[in-house]
Amino acid sequence: MFSRTVKLTQARAFQTTARKNLTIPFLSTLPQAPGGVKGNVNDAYVPPAPEKLHGSLHWDFERVLAISLIPLVTVPLAATGSISTVLDTALASVLLGHCYVGFQSCIIDYIPSRVYGKNHTYAMYLLGLGSLFSVVGIYHMETKEGGLIGVLKNIWSKPSTEKK
| 8-state DSSP, 132 | H
Tell me: is residue 110 an annotated ligand-binding position: yes
CA nearest neighbour of 107 among 125, 124, 132, 86: 124
Least confident segment among 32-36, 43-47, 139-143: 32-36
What's this model's pTM, rounded to 2 decimal places?
A: 0.74
Interval 11-25 mean pLDDT: 65
Least confident segment among 84-98, 113-127, 148-162: 148-162
At 132, is the pLDDT very low, low, confident or very high (cuts 50, 70, 90)?
A: very high
CA nearest neighbour of 102 among 134, 131, 62: 62
**What residue segments make up the domains of the chain, in order of their start?**
53-154
Tell me: is residue 54 an annotated ligand-binding position: no
56-92 pLDDT per residue, tens: 788 888 999 999 999 999 988 888 667 889 999 999 9
Distance CA 103, CA 58 (A): 14
At 13, is the pLDDT very low, low, confident or very high (cuts 50, 70, 90)?
A: low
Contact 93, 69 (CB under 8 A): no
105-125 pLDDT per residue, tens: 999 999 999 889 999 999 999
Which listed CATH number (3.50.50.60, 2.60.40.3080, 1.20.1300.10, 3.30.230.10) goes with 53-154?
A: 1.20.1300.10
